[in-house]
Amino acid sequence: MSNARSSPVDPAKGHHFSRQQLIRVVAVGLSVWLAGALLLRWLGPMGVYDGAARIVLYALIIPGTLPIILLLPVLAGIKRSQIAAAAAFATATAILMDGLALAWFPGLYGETIAQHAGAGAAILWGGAVAIFLGFFLNRDQ
């Protein structure tokens, strides 16, 4: 009986990241988070978090996230079999930054508490979409 635990990043299957790949995955997560935060700051005063506009925003996050996940192998220099793990790690980076920004730099997301909450929620939704798409698009080599 073995105490070894199964991992989605299994070095025995060639799914581990090199240091360079990990740096690139983190850079993608940081870049996408910052771009999203700045875009949401710009859109917030236009009422994007109100009523039907919120539904449209959340719906548009799905096709907006898809190209990033599809480009992960190129941007991070990873295999297609590593897309799920890379998407999850990039998302973890983005969500970490979202939490830090909401706690210490909420003005990044806008002027009001409603804008802070709306942007934070949209970024969390985008993170969930990225993880889902990463696992859906992951391919064995």
Domain boundaries, the chain: 28-137
pTM of the shown model? 0.86
Give the closest residue to 126 by CA, choosing from 83, 96, 89, 95: 95
CA 69 – CA 23 distance, rounded (Å): 16
* Cα torsion angle, 31, 37, 42, 48, sign: positive
Q: What pLDDT is recorded for position 139?
A: 85
Rounded distance between C-alpha atoms, residue 10 and residue 17, angstroms: 10
* Ranges of the chain with pLDDT below 50: 1-8, 10-12
What does the pLDDT read at residue 11? 46
